[in-house]
Amino acid sequence: MLRLWRDQVRIALCPDRVITVHCKAGLRPRIVAKRVHNYSGSDTGWQTVLPVLQAALNNPDWQHADATLIISNHFVRFLLLPWNDVALNDAEKLSLLRLRFAEVYGEASATWELRLNEGSYGAPSLASAVDQGLLEQLNSVFNASQLRLKSIQPYLMTAFNACRRELAKDAGWLVLAEPGMFCIGLLHNGQWQSIRSRRTGNVIESDWFDEAMLALEREMLLAESGSESCKVFVYAPGSLTGNPVPTPFKRGALVIHPLLPDLGAILSRDEMGSYAMAAAGI
Protein backbone atom coordinates (compact mmCIF):
# COMPACT_ATOMS: atom_id res chain seq x y z
CA MET A 1 0.00 0.00 0.00
CA LEU A 2 1.30 3.47 -0.89
CA ARG A 3 2.35 5.42 2.19
CA LEU A 4 0.74 8.86 1.78
CA TRP A 5 2.18 10.42 4.94
CA ARG A 6 5.42 10.02 6.81
CA ASP A 7 5.67 10.18 10.58
CA GLN A 8 7.04 13.44 12.00
CA VAL A 9 9.83 13.57 14.56
CA ARG A 10 10.51 16.98 16.08
CA ILE A 11 13.76 17.39 17.95
CA ALA A 12 14.97 20.28 20.13
CA LEU A 13 18.73 20.64 20.62
CA CYS A 14 19.71 22.41 23.86
CA PRO A 15 23.03 22.77 25.72
CA ASP A 16 21.89 20.37 28.47
CA ARG A 17 19.34 18.11 26.77
CA VAL A 18 17.82 16.78 23.56
CA ILE A 19 14.00 16.64 23.36
CA THR A 20 12.30 14.25 20.95
CA VAL A 21 8.60 14.08 20.04
CA HIS A 22 7.36 11.41 17.61
CA CYS A 23 4.08 12.27 15.90
CA LYS A 24 2.18 9.56 14.01
CA ALA A 25 1.24 10.23 10.40
CA GLY A 26 -2.42 10.86 9.59
CA LEU A 27 -5.09 13.51 9.27
CA ARG A 28 -4.90 14.36 12.98
CA PRO A 29 -1.59 14.73 14.83
CA ARG A 30 -1.03 12.14 17.53
CA ILE A 31 2.07 11.91 19.72
CA VAL A 32 3.09 8.28 20.12
CA ALA A 33 6.40 8.77 21.92
CA LYS A 34 8.30 11.56 23.62
CA ARG A 35 11.46 11.77 25.69
CA VAL A 36 13.92 14.20 27.22
CA HIS A 37 17.52 13.01 26.83
CA ASN A 38 19.47 14.88 29.52
CA TYR A 39 23.15 15.72 29.34
CA SER A 40 24.86 16.10 32.71
CA GLY A 41 28.25 17.46 31.63
CA SER A 42 29.59 20.87 32.63
CA ASP A 43 30.39 22.00 29.08
CA THR A 44 27.48 23.76 27.35
CA GLY A 45 29.03 23.88 23.87
CA TRP A 46 27.33 22.24 20.91
CA GLN A 47 30.18 19.74 20.45
CA THR A 48 29.38 17.92 23.69
CA VAL A 49 25.64 17.56 23.10
CA LEU A 50 26.02 15.99 19.65
CA PRO A 51 26.67 12.47 21.03
CA VAL A 52 23.39 12.79 22.97
CA LEU A 53 21.61 13.64 19.72
CA GLN A 54 23.33 10.79 17.89
CA ALA A 55 22.21 8.30 20.54
CA ALA A 56 18.65 9.66 20.42
CA LEU A 57 18.50 9.12 16.64
CA ASN A 58 19.19 5.39 16.99
CA ASN A 59 15.48 4.70 17.33
CA PRO A 60 14.44 2.05 14.76
CA ASP A 61 10.80 3.23 14.88
CA TRP A 62 11.80 6.42 13.01
CA GLN A 63 12.96 4.77 9.78
CA HIS A 64 10.07 6.21 7.74
CA ALA A 65 9.93 9.60 9.48
CA ASP A 66 10.75 13.21 8.55
CA ALA A 67 12.60 15.32 11.11
CA THR A 68 12.44 18.97 12.12
CA LEU A 69 15.31 20.18 14.30
CA ILE A 70 14.84 23.20 16.58
CA ILE A 71 18.09 24.76 17.78
CA SER A 72 18.27 26.51 21.14
CA ASN A 73 18.96 30.24 21.02
CA HIS A 74 22.19 29.43 22.88
CA PHE A 75 23.58 28.27 19.51
CA VAL A 76 22.21 31.09 17.34
CA ARG A 77 23.10 34.77 16.94
CA PHE A 78 20.63 37.39 15.70
CA LEU A 79 20.71 40.92 14.38
CA LEU A 80 18.47 43.24 12.39
CA LEU A 81 19.38 44.56 8.99
CA PRO A 82 17.83 48.01 8.46
CA TRP A 83 15.55 48.60 5.51
CA ASN A 84 17.44 49.42 2.33
CA ASP A 85 15.60 50.85 -0.67
CA VAL A 86 18.48 49.87 -2.99
CA ALA A 87 17.87 46.58 -4.80
CA LEU A 88 20.59 44.04 -4.02
CA ASN A 89 21.25 40.62 -5.50
CA ASP A 90 21.85 37.56 -3.31
CA ALA A 91 25.64 37.91 -3.34
CA GLU A 92 25.43 41.57 -2.32
CA LYS A 93 22.99 40.76 0.48
CA LEU A 94 25.34 38.06 1.80
CA SER A 95 28.29 40.44 1.64
CA LEU A 96 26.33 43.07 3.56
CA LEU A 97 25.31 40.47 6.14
CA ARG A 98 28.92 39.35 6.57
CA LEU A 99 30.03 42.93 7.15
CA ARG A 100 27.26 43.61 9.65
CA PHE A 101 27.87 40.42 11.66
CA ALA A 102 31.60 41.16 11.71
CA GLU A 103 30.89 44.63 13.09
CA VAL A 104 28.70 43.25 15.88
CA TYR A 105 30.32 39.89 16.72
CA GLY A 106 33.89 40.20 15.44
CA GLU A 107 36.10 37.71 13.59
CA ALA A 108 34.28 34.67 14.98
CA SER A 109 31.40 35.37 12.59
CA ALA A 110 33.58 34.45 9.59
CA THR A 111 32.78 30.76 10.18
CA TRP A 112 29.03 31.22 10.69
CA GLU A 113 26.27 30.22 8.27
CA LEU A 114 24.05 33.26 7.72
CA ARG A 115 20.35 33.40 6.89
CA LEU A 116 18.14 36.41 6.16
CA ASN A 117 14.41 36.52 6.77
CA GLU A 118 13.38 39.61 4.85
CA GLY A 119 10.76 41.86 6.39
CA SER A 120 7.93 43.58 4.58
CA TYR A 121 8.40 46.80 2.61
CA GLY A 122 10.03 49.48 4.77
CA ALA A 123 10.70 47.13 7.72
CA PRO A 124 14.02 45.71 9.00
CA SER A 125 14.98 42.13 8.15
CA LEU A 126 15.89 39.53 10.76
CA ALA A 127 19.21 37.78 10.19
CA SER A 128 20.44 34.69 12.02
CA ALA A 129 23.79 32.94 12.23
CA VAL A 130 24.79 29.42 13.26
CA ASP A 131 28.29 27.97 13.48
CA GLN A 132 28.97 26.27 10.15
CA GLY A 133 30.72 23.45 12.00
CA LEU A 134 27.53 22.72 13.93
CA LEU A 135 25.45 22.52 10.76
CA GLU A 136 27.98 20.23 9.08
CA GLN A 137 28.02 17.90 12.08
CA LEU A 138 24.21 17.89 12.28
CA ASN A 139 23.89 16.91 8.63
CA SER A 140 26.47 14.17 9.15
CA VAL A 141 24.62 12.79 12.19
CA PHE A 142 21.26 12.77 10.38
CA ASN A 143 22.73 11.24 7.22
CA ALA A 144 23.87 8.31 9.34
CA SER A 145 20.39 7.87 10.84
CA GLN A 146 17.07 6.55 9.50
CA LEU A 147 15.50 10.02 9.61
CA ARG A 148 15.10 12.44 6.72
CA LEU A 149 16.02 15.93 7.95
CA LYS A 150 13.52 18.38 6.44
CA SER A 151 14.17 21.57 8.39
CA ILE A 152 16.57 23.22 10.84
CA GLN A 153 15.19 26.28 12.58
CA PRO A 154 16.14 28.53 15.52
CA TYR A 155 13.89 28.34 18.57
CA LEU A 156 13.03 32.02 18.06
CA MET A 157 11.46 31.15 14.68
CA THR A 158 9.53 28.20 16.15
CA ALA A 159 8.15 30.27 19.02
CA PHE A 160 7.23 33.20 16.79
CA ASN A 161 5.36 30.97 14.34
CA ALA A 162 3.53 29.23 17.20
CA CYS A 163 2.19 32.59 18.42
CA ARG A 164 2.14 34.57 15.17
CA ARG A 165 -1.56 35.42 15.46
CA GLU A 166 -1.10 37.20 18.80
CA LEU A 167 2.20 38.84 17.83
CA ALA A 168 0.90 40.33 14.58
CA LYS A 169 -1.29 42.85 16.40
CA ASP A 170 -0.23 46.40 17.31
CA ALA A 171 3.17 46.84 18.97
CA GLY A 172 4.66 44.91 21.83
CA TRP A 173 7.68 43.24 23.33
CA LEU A 174 8.38 39.52 23.12
CA VAL A 175 10.34 37.81 25.88
CA LEU A 176 11.31 34.26 24.92
CA ALA A 177 12.71 32.40 27.92
CA GLU A 178 14.64 29.16 28.07
CA PRO A 179 17.07 27.93 30.75
CA GLY A 180 20.09 30.22 30.78
CA MET A 181 18.84 32.52 28.01
CA PHE A 182 16.38 35.31 27.30
CA CYS A 183 15.68 36.47 23.75
CA ILE A 184 13.97 39.88 23.81
CA GLY A 185 12.56 41.66 20.79
CA LEU A 186 10.28 44.56 19.92
CA LEU A 187 7.58 43.95 17.32
CA HIS A 188 5.28 46.29 15.43
CA ASN A 189 2.50 44.71 13.37
CA GLY A 190 4.44 41.46 13.30
CA GLN A 191 7.69 43.10 12.09
CA TRP A 192 10.88 43.12 14.17
CA GLN A 193 12.10 46.49 15.41
CA SER A 194 14.83 45.22 17.74
CA ILE A 195 16.19 41.85 18.90
CA ARG A 196 18.79 40.84 21.46
CA SER A 197 19.75 37.67 23.34
CA ARG A 198 20.90 37.78 26.96
CA ARG A 199 22.46 34.92 28.90
CA THR A 200 21.12 34.62 32.43
CA GLY A 201 23.74 32.52 34.20
CA ASN A 202 22.60 30.47 37.18
CA VAL A 203 19.16 31.96 37.72
CA ILE A 204 17.01 30.07 40.22
CA GLU A 205 13.96 28.70 38.41
CA SER A 206 11.54 30.52 40.72
CA ASP A 207 13.29 33.86 39.97
CA TRP A 208 13.34 33.63 36.18
CA PHE A 209 10.43 36.02 35.66
CA ASP A 210 11.92 38.84 37.76
CA GLU A 211 15.22 38.38 35.95
CA ALA A 212 13.42 38.50 32.60
CA MET A 213 11.69 41.76 33.52
CA LEU A 214 15.01 43.32 34.52
CA ALA A 215 16.48 42.31 31.17
CA LEU A 216 13.41 43.75 29.42
CA GLU A 217 13.78 47.07 31.23
CA ARG A 218 17.35 47.34 29.94
CA GLU A 219 16.19 46.66 26.39
CA MET A 220 13.44 49.26 26.68
CA LEU A 221 16.04 51.85 27.66
CA LEU A 222 18.24 50.91 24.69
CA ALA A 223 15.43 50.86 22.11
CA GLU A 224 15.52 53.79 19.72
CA SER A 225 11.77 53.81 19.12
CA GLY A 226 8.65 51.99 20.19
CA SER A 227 9.90 51.46 23.74
CA GLU A 228 6.80 53.22 25.04
CA SER A 229 4.74 50.10 24.30
CA CYS A 230 3.47 48.61 27.55
CA LYS A 231 2.33 45.29 26.04
CA VAL A 232 4.69 42.40 26.79
CA PHE A 233 4.30 38.87 25.44
CA VAL A 234 6.09 36.21 27.47
CA TYR A 235 6.70 32.82 25.85
CA ALA A 236 7.94 30.37 28.47
CA PRO A 237 5.86 27.17 28.25
CA GLY A 238 5.74 25.30 31.53
CA SER A 239 7.30 28.10 33.55
CA LEU A 240 4.17 30.22 33.93
CA THR A 241 2.39 30.11 37.24
CA GLY A 242 -1.27 30.68 37.91
CA ASN A 243 -4.39 29.35 36.21
CA PRO A 244 -4.25 26.45 33.72
CA VAL A 245 -5.08 28.98 31.00
CA PRO A 246 -2.74 31.98 31.52
CA THR A 247 -4.41 35.40 31.47
CA PRO A 248 -2.88 38.89 31.13
CA PHE A 249 -1.74 40.61 34.31
CA LYS A 250 -0.10 43.92 35.19
CA ARG A 251 3.40 44.59 36.46
CA GLY A 252 3.74 48.29 37.07
CA ALA A 253 2.91 50.04 33.79
CA LEU A 254 3.42 46.85 31.78
CA VAL A 255 0.65 44.47 30.74
CA ILE A 256 2.05 40.93 30.60
CA HIS A 257 0.47 38.51 28.13
CA PRO A 258 1.61 34.91 28.79
CA LEU A 259 1.67 32.82 25.62
CA LEU A 260 1.34 29.10 25.12
CA PRO A 261 1.50 27.15 21.85
CA ASP A 262 -1.76 25.58 20.69
CA LEU A 263 -0.91 22.08 21.92
CA GLY A 264 -3.78 21.46 24.35
CA ALA A 265 -5.09 18.54 22.30
CA ILE A 266 -1.80 16.62 22.39
CA LEU A 267 0.08 17.82 25.50
CA SER A 268 -1.14 18.30 29.05
CA ARG A 269 -0.32 21.43 31.02
CA ASP A 270 2.27 19.46 33.02
CA GLU A 271 3.96 18.26 29.82
CA MET A 272 4.32 21.75 28.32
CA GLY A 273 7.52 22.59 30.14
CA SER A 274 9.31 19.46 28.98
CA TYR A 275 8.07 19.08 25.41
CA ALA A 276 6.61 22.34 24.04
CA MET A 277 9.94 23.47 22.58
CA ALA A 278 9.99 20.43 20.29
CA ALA A 279 6.24 19.93 19.80
CA ALA A 280 5.26 23.49 18.81
CA GLY A 281 4.40 23.44 15.14
CA ILE A 282 2.84 19.99 14.99
Asked if residue 149 lies in contact with residue 69, where contact means CB atoms within 8 angstroms, the answer is yes
Instruction: Please say if the pLDDT value at position 202 is more than 90.
Output: no
d(CA 230, CA 182): 19
Backbone Cα Rg of the chain = 19
The residues near 236 (Cβ < 8 Å, ≥ 6 apart) are 175, 176, 177, 178, 208, 209, 212, 258
State the sign of the Cα–Cα–Cα–Cα dihedral 126, 102, 201, 222. Answer: negative
Reduced DSSP (H G I as helix, E B as strand, rest coil) percent helix, strand, coil of the chain, to 5:
35, 35, 35
Instruction: Please say if the pLDDT value at position 195 is more than 70.
Output: yes
Q: Which stretch of 121-125, 147-151, 264-268 has the lowest confidence by average pLDDT?
A: 264-268
Please provide residue 13's backbone torsions phi and psi, each rounded to the nearest 5 degrees: -105, 115
Instruction: Convert the pLDDT of each residue in 41-84 to its tens digit.
Output: 656 689 989 999 999 999 888 888 999 999 999 999 999 998 88
Please provide residue 152's backbone torsions phi and psi, each rounded to the nearest 5 degrees: -120, 125
* Closest to 62 measured CA to CA, from 2, 148, 150: 148
Q: How confident is the model at residue 149 (pLDDT cuts 50, 70, 90)?
A: very high
How many percent of the chain have pLDDT more than 70?
90
Instruction: Please say if the pLDDT value at position 36 is more than 90.
Output: yes
Instruction: Convert the pLDDT of each residue in 220-245 to its tens digit.
Output: 988 766 566 789 999 998 674 444 45
First vs last C-alpha separation in the chain? 25
Per-residue b/e over 110-119, b at no fewer than 16 CB within 10 Å? eebebbeeeb
Q: Is the pTM of this model over 0.75?
A: yes
d(CA 226, CA 81): 17
How many percent of the chain have pLDDT more than 90?
54
d(CA 132, CA 110): 9
* Residue 90 exposed, middle or buried by CB count within 10 Å (0-12, 13-18, 19+): exposed
